[in-house]
Amino acid sequence: MTSEPTVLRTPDERFAGLPDYPFAPHYAEIPDVRFGPLRMHFVDEGPRDAPVVLMLHGEPTWSFLYRKIIPIVTAAGYRAVAPDFIGFGRSDKPSSRADYSYQGFVDWLRRFIKIEELQRITLVCQDWGGPIGLRVLSEMPDRFDAVVVANTLLPNCEPPPQGIVGWPGKVIENWIETCRNANDLQISEIVAGACLERPSAEILRGYDAPFPDASYKSAALQITCCIPVTQDMPGVAENRRAWEVLERFDRPFLTAFSDRDPSTKPWEAVFRNRVPGAVSQPHVEIAGGGHFLQEEQGPVLARHLVDLLDRLYR
């Protein structure tokens, strides 16, 4: 007898009083053939008729990661939309690792953009927000006006110049192996370990907030195992097709990687060399940031983002 799929929802009180995160919650009902509607949380700040900045987190974070950037974007007159992927943040969390796949995350995000009728989008993506967001862009490119990639990748298992030497490398290989064999993760310690300076206990509590116990962490455990690191894995062919779209994408495409990211830095040059929209952009290397540069250098990243938006719309 097959049991009914279980979907968990983090209690609201876990999110009370988080530092610098005063944003009212918004929810979209995302259709799913297995679970029925899944509730997807998102921050939505700024003028509703303004160009949209779609901010995508990675693993194991959530929209809390963008709390320093959102007010700067809205103060400049733009609309900031920061969703939590299904399984993360305030969004619903299917309880089994088998409930998650790379394609599933892409499908959920694409449905969210359609439901919320987002247009004139500038995509900002980091970590797994890149592979998910860039795949969606490749399927609906007319909705996107610009891109800012920051400490992210779009793996394709191809040699240079299409890909990078030595992919995936020991850092990512070890991280995948850790997640594959684990049944729990210390979420805040993962964030702290990838920062150059340890965040305060209060901030680390914010990263732990969505996950009362290990049963809520199936997405955080599984998403890394979905990275296509060999040519026979699901997602490689789709990523290569996405690259074909990116090789025709001539709208602004800015790289804003940090100087101290140990895992994604080599992809910076691939984006700059393969995407036409990256030509002549004022690309930036952000000093003093580890992997989670939004946490450590959020205002700096926000200023470069707003500069791009002003060049594009004003």
Domains annotated for the chain, with CATH where assigned, are 7-313 (3.40.50.1820)
Residue among 300, 263, 21 nearest 153 (CA)? 263
The pLDDT assigned to 3 comes to: 57
Nearest to 125 by CA among 256, 21, 310: 256
Catalytic residue among 44, 99, 127, 145: 127
What are the structure tokens assigned to 153, written together?
A: 């990748």
Element (H, E) at 258: strand 253-258
Among candidates 278, 302, 313, 309, which has minimal Cα distance to 68? 302
Q: What is the CA radius of gyration of the chain?
A: 18
Helix or strand holding residue 41 (H, E): strand 38-45
Is residue 93 within a helix (H) or strand (E), and if so which, with residue range?
strand 93-94
- What is the Cα–Cα distance from 72 to 285, expressed in whole angstroms? 20
Q: Which run of H or E residues covers position 255? A: strand 253-258
Instruction: Report which of 58, 148, 66, 136 is spatially closest to residue 104, judged by C-alpha positions.
Output: 136
Q: What pLDDT was estimated at residue 262?
A: 84
Angle between helices 236-246 and 129-139 (to 10 degrees): 60
261 catalytic residue (yes or no): yes
Q: How far apart are CA 66 and CA 57, in angstroms?
A: 8
Q: Which residues of 135-160 are buried (b: 16+ CB within 10 A; e: fewer)?
A: bbbbbeeebbbbbbbbbbbbbbbbee
DSSP lists the bridge partners of residue 93 as 8
pTM greater than 0.95 (yes/no): yes
What are the mean pLDDT values of the chain's consecutive 10-residue runs (314 residues total)?
77 97 98 96 98 98 98 98 98 97 98 98 98 98 98 95 89 92 96 96 98 98 93 94 98 97 93 97 97 98 98 96
Which element (helix H / strand E) includes 29?
Answer: strand 26-30
Quick one: three-class SS letters along 177-237?
A: HHHHHCCCCCHHHHHHHCCCCCCCHHHHHHHHCCCCCHHHCHHHHHHHHHCCCCCCCCCHH
pLDDT of residue 66: 98
Which of 99, 291, 304, 310 is catalytic? The answer is: 291
Does residue 57 have an active-site annotation?
no
Q: How far apart are CA 249 and CA 167, in angstroms?
A: 24
**Which element (helix H / strand E) includes 55?**
strand 52-56
- Alpha carbon distance 138, 121 (integer Å): 13
Give yes or no: 127 in active site.
yes
Say if CB 7 and CB 201 are below 8 A apart: no
CA–CA gap between residue 292 and residue 4 (Å, rounded): 37
Instruction: Give me the pLDDT at residue 4, please.
Output: 65
